[in-house]
Amino acid sequence: MFETLYRYSRVLVRHLEGSAAEERDRFVTHCVEAGAARESVLHLASELLLVAQRMDIDGTRAITREEIRSAADRWVRHQRRHGHIRTARFSRQRFVQVATDWLRFLGRLEAAPVTRGADADLVDEFAAYMHEERGLSAHTVHNRCWHVQAFLTWLDEQHCSAGAANLEHVDAFLAMRGAQAWCRVSIATAASALRSFFAHMAARGRCSDGLAAGIEGPRLFKHEALPMGPRWEDVQRLVASTDTDRPQDVREGLVSSLYKERRQAEIPLTRERPGTNRRQSLVITSLPRTLRLPMRAKAAGSSRIGRR
C-alpha cells in the first residue's frame, strides 16, 4: 500500500524500512478499503510510523493503555523541547487515538477492565423487576435504568448511598440536569424513572415510603412539542408557487400545500369563508397565534399579515 501512497523514493523507503512496516501496511490497507480519503490515509500513515518508532511493539504481548499514554507523553515532551508545538493537547490525543486503533486492529491492545457503576446490583434488580413483574418493554427498561444509574453515580460522588438518598438529593440532581440545558421533557423522564426506582426500593424496605411520592418533575404543557406554525418565508414560498391569478385557486392551492405539510408538523389549520363584503383571505391558525393571509397574486412579496 505504501508504494501507491508515496511517489518520492526517500519518503517511501522511510515507511518501508521503518519499525513494524508489515503491521502498519495492513492497517493502512484496511482504512483504504473502508473508504478513508487519501489525505486522511497519508496523515494516518505518518502518525503510525511515529507510533511504531516511539513504542516497543515487538513480539506478541498485549500493549496496555498506560504504555500508550506514557509514549504519548514522551513524544509531547520531545516536541516541546524542540519547539515544534505550542500546545500538547492535540498531539497527545492524536498519538493515543492512532496507537489505540492500530493495536486494537492487530489484536494487541490489552482489554480494559470492566467496571460496574455505583450500586449496579440495585439497577440490575430494578431492571429484572420491570421486565419480569411489570412486563415493560426492553426499550423502557433500558431508558429507566440509564437515568437511575446516572443518578446513583452522581449520588456516589456526593458520598451518599441509595438507601440514604432524600428529596434534596433528587432535586439537586434534576436541577443539575436543567443547568446542563436538558429540556423539560427529558428532566420529566428522569424524574419518572427515579420515582419508579424509589417506589421499588420502598416496597422492599430499603428507603422511606414517601420519597417516591415526593419526586416531581417540571410541568409539561399539552402542546409543548408542537411547532408554532409555518414560517412566513414558507408561506411566501407556497404562495409564489401558485401559478394562477384567481384568488380562489391561490387560496385552495395554499390550503392544500399547508395541509400536506401539517401531516408532519401537526399544525392545526382553519379556513375562514370569505363573505361578499370581505376581502378574500386565508386564516392560518397556529399555536398560540393566528395569521391572516391576503389572497392576491402578488401576496408572496407582501408583508401584510396581521393577527386575528
**Residue 2 backbone dihedrals phi, psi, to 5 degrees:** -60, -35
What's the pLDDT score for residue 114? 54
Q: What is the residue whose three cell numbers read 437515568?
A: 147
Residues 127-144: what's their mean pLDDT?
Answer: 91
| Cβ-based burial of 211 (10 A; exposed 0-12, middle 13-18, buried ≥19) | buried
Model's pTM, two decimal places? 0.44
Greatest Cα-to-Cα distance within the chain, rounded to the nearest angstrom: 93
- Comparing CA positions, the residue from 285, 233, 227, 219 lying closest to residue 255 is 285
Rounded to whole angstroms, the Cα distance separating 69 from 96 reads 6
The stretch 113-130 carries a mean pLDDT of 81
Query: Residue 118's pLDDT is what?
Result: 59
Mean pLDDT of 268-287: 43
How much is the average pLDDT of 137-141? 90
For residues 233 and 283, the model is more confident at 233
- The fraction of the chain above a pLDDT of 90, given in percent, is 28
What pLDDT does 112 receive? 65
Q: What is the mean pLDDT of residues 4-17?
A: 87
257-262 — which CB contacts under 8 Å span 24+ positions?
Answer: 258/230, 258/284, 261/230, 261/234
- Give how far the C-alpha of residue 79 lies from the chain's centroid of Cα atoms, to the nearest Å: 35
